[in-house]
Amino acid sequence: MTAIPPGRTRRATLVSAICALVVTGVGLTGCSSEDPDAGTNGVGKLTPEKIQAKTRAAAVSAGAVRLSGTVVAGGSTYKLDMRLKDDGGTGSVTAEGAAFELLRIGEQLYLKADTAFWDPEGGEGDAAAGKLDGKYVKVPEGDPSYKRFSGFTDKDVLLDSLLTLHGTLKNDGRHEQSGVRTVRITGDQGSGGTLDVSLEGKPYPLRLVRGGDAGTLTFSAWGEDFALNEPKKSETVDYGQQLPTS
């Protein structure tokens, strides 16, 4: 049996004694060899700028995502629940008390809403609004509404505009979102927004609080594909070159 050198024995005894002080509440640190980044994807060790770059790259490369929450833009608040992928998206939008559904497959955009959406003033005998009630209406690409509404179904457009923090970036430590460990980065100490990035698996963004009280969004189902199905002809109305206006 190989003898342990006396010096090594004394060092081991000293380390044990110091660590015992921690247990009894003296408050010394450094005795644990546990790595806080063990089992993570490692982005927590990076600078805030690199974390932001990594999460944007992961988001862009993902084939699909579910986005839900609120966005404040142009003086209006939009409540979103959208599933998005590279060739389209589907989901619901609520704005100023009016709710509607969107479906985009390739370049074809459909909008589905009730009579109150098409005729917010509640005018009597509005035959057009009645015909559109609960139907998928093809939105012509030349209609002013096309660009406005199609943006809600465009994964790249939405992520590019949303996943940006403003001001000086800082690391706000470790947090958790829906049971997933995250690292949080902030812009101008939160006034420029905060973003929680997953420390598990790919560094996807999981929660965004936009700066200037411009809304809060959560991201989930990253990379989970879903079907985009054309509505039945009996459920579809082709209104022509321009949608009706109230």
CB 223 within 8 A of CB 64: yes
d(CA 159, CA 163): 6
Give a yes or no: residue 177 inside a domain: yes
Containing 36, the helix (H) or strand (E) segment is none
Residue 220 resides in a domain: yes
Per-residue model confidence (pLDDT) at position 237: 87
In a domain, 178, yes or no: yes
* Domain span at 54: 43-225
Q: In which element (H, E) is residue 239 found?
A: none
Domain membership flag for residue 38: no
What are the residues whose beta carbons fall under 8 Å from the beta carbon of 147, sequence distance 6 or more?
none
On the question of pLDDT at 178 being above 80, the answer is yes
Flag whether 24 is in a domain. no
Let me know if 194 is exposed, middle or buried by CB neighbors in 10 A (0-12, 13-18, 19+).
buried
User: What does the alpha-carbon distance between residue 71 and residue 209 come to, in Å, rounded to a whole number?
Assistant: 10
Report pLDDT for 117: 82
The number of domains in the chain is 1
pLDDT for 243 beyond 60:
no
Rounded to an integer, the average pLDDT of 69-82 is 93
* CATH number of the domain within which 216 lies: 2.50.20.20
Is residue 32 assigned to a domain?
no
| 83 domain residue, yes or no | yes
The burial class, CB within 10 Å (0-12 / 13-18 / 19+), for 203 is buried
